[in-house]
Structure 1
Amino acid sequence: MGTKKITLKKVKNKISNIILINLRRIFNVLGYQISENTDKSKILELIKTVRPYETNLGLVRLGGIEDGGYVVPNDLIGIEACFSPGVDKESGFEIDCLKRGMQVYMADNSVDKPNIDSSKFNYNFIKKHIGTTSNEDYITFTDWVNSSNIETNRDLLLQMDIEGAEYLTILSADESIIKRFRIILIEFHFLERLWNDDFYSLVEPVFKKLLKTHTCIHIHPNNCSKIVKHNNIQIPPVLEFSFIRNDRFTNKEPQVNFPNELDNTNLNNIPDVILPKIWYAD
């Protein structure tokens, strides 16, 4: 019976793999992750893919001048309803939508009700988080939209700020639901973690799914976090993206004027964060 030769290098590699596997298990229990770094070329390609375009529609601002306000395409006439998961103290955006004749649907399990005067405005609110399953505390995005019983041929607007839950929410949503939204506004969180290959593998298909039917027309960094620079790539951890459905515009060209005159700081007591050029031009 022959003896199997094992080199010292193979032994070291095997031990290293065992240690890494166990470290991952330990850190996962503690709420941390160990992952391979994402290849720089993948990060660059993703950034290039999501770069914004200027369309023939123009831009306007909805909501307050600080946090809670968004730069949106000037294509609001005829939108039936705004869906706004994630409720904060500031509801200026939703009030602007109500003033424009939209129905407003809000969802959040962390508050009892929105900061909107119900004697002046009618709105729909459910005390549930948006998630990947529907139960007592959560409701899927698809179930939530369908529960409104709005006719499927009516256009909708989405404004989503749910502190990191946006990725799984979009991935689990029916594509037919995504297509119903003429305008999509999403604040994406933890983008500095794109260098973590596991996180990149979560984020990349989210943007790929959105860009099947929509085009990015604006990006604005939330100045709640400083820009993180790694491998000469600057990534703002929190970015507000504005998308328009592809059937709504007739022409587009790269948007290269940043910041936009409609942009404003989210928090006025700390320095502003300007979108790095790599996010809109070479």
Structure 2
Amino acid sequence: MSLFSLFARPVVLGWVLSMGVVRHYVAAVAAHCNYFASRRTSYKHIQAVIELLRSMDTGRPLIRLGGAGDGGYLIPDDLQGIRACFSPGVAAQATFEKELQHRGISSYLADYSVLGPPPDCASMSFEKKFLGAYDSDIFTTLASWVGRHPETAEGDLLLQMDVEGAEYEIIANIDPVLLRRFRILVIEFHDFECLAQPFGYRRIFEALTKLSHDFVPVHLHPNNYAGIAHIGPLRVPRMLEISYLRRDRCSTLTPRQNFPHPEDRDNVPNKPSAPLPRQWFS
């Protein structure tokens, strides 16, 4: 009996089709649980990403701006002389930007998904655009956005970016010369569980490598909304808030061990805490 005639039998064909459905279902469930059928990134390569994010004491203490919950960040106490903050991604409140305003630092907001800034931030500059890798009616590049504000042409800047996963494409397309105008970066990185996949790993590794040329991570804080993923023996925050300081502003580079920081707060109070796994700092 030929193989074709065997698989042409209704009973055998039904079994084959049902197995395909089963495999599809199993694959869908596995993907939901962060397991993928594609080739997995080696633990050595994931460890290389962790090494890029070893947080350093730069000789400047950390201060908390933005309140006790989501939207508050720890940054180095090095704000004097910063001209402005560019803050893509606008939430219902802008406590971080409000505290900067109290310190004499203007903020520029942008988000296509909302109609305008929060009511108590009406005096801040707002553009109804997403920050992206090209210019259009919906998107703006960082270069174009900054260029539309000549009043910020002199002095250092601060970038606070929470753009729901678009950060990798944005970082890849920022000119390094423009990037170095920013003294402090505060970026929420998403989808770190995708380090398990080669494509996700490359996207994350390339962005962090680019930042490492001119910036030093000074604080890491997992967003407890998404929790911690397990990639084999490694525990990986799915969403990670990272504060950077430009290298020329660092007087020392000593690995930090005090995690969580006394000023750290959960983003979502009614969800379990997600402290930074020890593998990321010990």
Distance 1:246 1:145, change over 3 A: same
TM-score (norm 2): 0.85
Instruction: Tell me what 1:226 maps to.
Output: 227
Residue 198 to residue 34, structure 1, CA distance change in 2 (3 Å):
farther
Determine the C-alpha separation between the residues in 1 that align with 2:37 and 2:84.
42
Structure 2 counterparts to residues 46-65 of structure 1, below 5 A: 46-65=49-68
Instruction: Provide the residue aligned with 1:268 in structure 2.
Output: 269
Q: Deviations over 1:199-226 (max 9, x none)?
A: 1111111011111111000000000112
Which residue of 51, 55, 79 corresponds with 1:76? Answer: 79
Q: Distance in 1 between matches of 2:154 and 2:45?
A: 37
Within a 5 Å distance, the mapping from 1:243-262 to structure 2 comes to: 243-262=244-263
Secondary structure class of the residue paired with 1:47: helix
- Given the superposition, is the C-alpha separation of residues 39 and 150 from structure 1 closer, same or farther in structure 2, using an over 3 Å criterion? farther
* CA 1:151–1:84: 2 relative to 1, 3 Å: closer
Q: Contact conserved, 2:134 with 2:140, CA < 8 A, in 1?
A: yes
2:216–2:245: 8 Å Cα contact kept in structure 1? yes
2:32 maps to what in 1? none
**Where has structure 1 moved over 3 Å in runs of 4 or more?**
150-153
Q: Which deviations, in whole Å up to 9, do the C-alpha atoms of 1:165-199 show, x marking residues without a partner?
A: 00000111111111000000000000001011011
The answer (yes or no) to whether the contact 1:79–1:157 under 8 Å persists in 2 is yes
Query: Taking structure 1 as the reference length, what is the TM-score of the superposition?
Result: 0.85
Q: Greater helix percent: which structure? A: 2
**SS of aligned partner of 2:120:** coil
Percent identity of paired positions between Structure 1 and Structure 2: 39
Q: How does 1:228-243 map to 2 (within 5 A)?
A: 228-243=229-244
> Which residue is 2:148 aligned to?
147
| Unaligned ranges ≥5, structure 2 | 1-23, 29-35
Shift of 1:150: 3.7
CA shift in 2, pair 1:104/1:136, >3 Å:
same
Q: In the alignment, which residue of structure 1 is the partner of 2:124?
A: 123
Matching of residues 179-218 of structure 1 within 5 Å: 179-218=180-219
Which amino acid is the alignment partner of residue 251 of structure 1? T
> In the aligned structure 2, how far is the partner of 1:88 from the partner of 1:261?
25
3-state SS in 2 of match to 1:240: strand
Distance 2:176 2:143 in 1: 9
Distance in 1, matches of 2:103 and 2:134, equals 32
Q: Is the Cα contact below 8 Å between 2:146 and 2:152 reproduced in 1? A: no
> Which amino acid counterpart does residue 193 of structure 2 have in structure 1?
E
- Does the 8 Å CA contact 2:161/2:187 hold for their aligned counterparts? yes
Q: Which residue of 2 is the match for residue 18 of structure 1? A: none
Q: CA deviation at 1:152?
A: 4.0
- Paired amino acid for 1:215: V
Q: Deviations over 1:11-59 (max 9, x none)?
A: xxxxxxxxxxxx9xxx9xxxxx964211110001110121100121111
SS at match of 1:117: helix
Task: Give the drift of 1:78.
Answer: 1.1
SS at match of 2:150: coil
Q: Distance in 2 between matches of 1:168 and 1:135?
A: 16
